[in-house]
Amino acid sequence: MMMAGMLAGPHLVTPSITGEADASTNPIPIVSIQLTPSQVQAHITDSQIGAVSFAGKVTVDKIPGIERLIVTLTAGANTGWPVVISPMTMPFVNPGSRQFQVTVVVPPSTSSHIIGTLMVTGSAKAPGLAPIISTAAGVVTVAQYFKLRLETESPLREVSPGDITYNLVNVFNDGNSMDTIQVEIENIKDLVKAGWTVLLGSTDVSVKADEYVPVKVTVQTSQDWRLWAKEIYPITLKATSMEAKERNELYIKSYPVFVYMKGFHIPGFDPFMAIIALVIALVMFQGAQERADSRLEKGRVKEKNQSP
């Protein structure tokens, strides 16, 4: 029994001695950083910034033999976007957790294809202890916004009744991602009722961000009989963002171009042929006038010859 006790004694004491040795030889605290959520989306426009925030937590698991531990936080984005973190320093005298907040500011007009990575770094320092570094990362995406613009170099066209005219309307995508744009004539029923024919070269165009696509507009005015016309008609183009529509959003832009109809129109009347006919008539009239003058001159000569 005594021998057994002597053998058992050292076996029971050894673990406690080993535990104290571990505590004295491994005093490094365990520091971790967490970000919630792991990914956020920024909503911007061409003139407004988008600010998004992450909730952060710094946790220190153990501080054996250390009276005070200071954790200093820094943050940055790989895209160069401004980042604000608060608070920047956290003191720990006991194991525990502390909260912080980090905000990322996305500039206006940023492309929705750009993805930003936020990196938060914590540096824990204490007297006689080498800095302990811990990191956490978050992702910032950019939501697509929609903005359309229609322009033309010639918003007013002049045309004779019954004639055809053309115009080019440029469809601009001022959003931050490619968009499919549906183009239509908003007042087509009124134009058809007035006897006009209006055709679009394209009704669906895909336009990259900050670019434009020209759409040809062909217009034939009314071919009804008109002694004289002097009227201005609007042709209203409507552009609809199909990408916005897929997201249950509605973005529509209207743009009017004008046609000034001036002149006369007689169905079947060809102005060119009328000019030719007029020239022929003038030639014939001039010939008849010359023949009449010739006969008159001959008559005068004959009278002179017959006089005594």
CATH top-level class for 28-142? mainly beta
Question: Is the distance from CB of 126 to CB of 69 less than 8 angstroms?
Answer: yes
For 93, list phi and psi in degrees, rounded to 5.
-115, -15
CATH top-level class for 148-265? mainly beta
Closest CA to 71 of 135, 140, 16: 135
Q: Which residues are bridge partners to 214 per DSSP?
A: 170
Chain centre distance of CA 271: 49
Whether 10 shows a pLDDT value over 50: the answer reads: no
Q: Tell me the C-alpha distance between 261 and 287, whole Å.
A: 39
Predicted pLDDT of residue 233: 92
Encode pLDDT of 109-154 as tens digits.
999 999 999 999 999 999 888 899 999 999 999 999 999 999 999 9
Question: Is the distance from CB of 185 to CB of 235 less than 8 angstroms?
Answer: yes
Same fold, 28-142 and 148-265: yes
Encode pLDDT of 294-306 as tens digits.
666 555 545 555 5
Q: Tell me the C-alpha distance between 254 and 179, whole Å.
A: 17
Predicted pLDDT of residue 280: 64
User: 14 in helix, strand or coil?
Assistant: helix
Domain boundaries of the chain, sorted by first residue? 28-142, 148-265
Encode pLDDT of 192-210 as tens digits.
999 999 999 999 999 999 9
Whether 22 shows a pLDDT value over 70: the answer reads: no
